[in-house]
């Protein structure tokens, strides 16, 4: 039972930390986007892309939580015996996306907020601002990939 608790704790940490990074990042970008919309409401579509971009880390954390539920058998209803070492392994496997999701979500929000300021003054630069935001995303994707590799390496 302790192994299952450790495994579920890992999934929960991934969901909470990556989701928190996304929420903070969207908060930064959303505040900047609302500032632009107060004077230029026609730019909603442009601002929406930059505001939504930091939300992907939360999706990666959610995906990791779902993978843990599948790995532990909770979705299928057949929970295998999970040792403490296996549970600890699953918890550790969740940490790459948890940490990269938290940090990159916050920083992506800052980059997107700055991009919103650029896009408001120079609409032709919107795609460039999106590219800068997407560059920060790279590290969350790498964290997710490592988490998936680590989860797949643990045999139950």
Give pLDDT tens digits for 95-140. Answer: 999 999 999 999 999 999 999 999 999 999 999 999 999 999 999 9
Dihedral angle sign, alpha carbons of residues 30, 35, 38, 42: negative
pLDDT of 156:
78
What is the DSSP secondary-structure string of 30-60?
HHHHHHHHTT-GGGHHHHHHHHHGGGHHHHH
pLDDT of 46:
86
Q: Which residues of the chain have pLDDT under 70?
A: none
| pTM score of the predicted model | 0.92
Residue showing tokens 């986007």: 33
The fold for domain 2-153 equals 1.20.120
Cβ atoms 14, 98 nearer than 8 A: yes
Of the candidates 133, 141, 143, 120, the one whose C-alpha atom is nearest the C-alpha of residue 50 is 133
pLDDT of 3:
93
pLDDT of 59:
98
């Amino acid at each position: 039972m302790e192994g299952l608790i450790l495994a579920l704790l890992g999934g929960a940490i991934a969901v909470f930390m990556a989701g928190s990074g996304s929420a903070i990042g969207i908060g930064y970008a959303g505040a900047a986007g609302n500032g632009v919309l107060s004077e230029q409401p026609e730019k909603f579509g442009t601002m929406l892309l930059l505001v939504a971009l930091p939300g992907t880390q939360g999706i990666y954390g959610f995906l990791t939580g779902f993978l843990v539920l599948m790995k532990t058998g909770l979705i299928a209803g057949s929970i295998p015996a999970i040792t403490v070492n296996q549970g600890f392994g699953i918890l550790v496997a969740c940490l790459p996306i948890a940490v990269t999701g938290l940090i990159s979500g916050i920083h992506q929000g800052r980059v997107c907020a700055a991009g919103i300021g650029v896009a408001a003054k120079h609409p032709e630069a919107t795609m460039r601002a999106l590219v800068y935001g997407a560059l920060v995303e790279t590290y969350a994707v790498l964290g997710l990939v490592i988490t998936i590799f680590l989860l797949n390496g643990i045999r139950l």
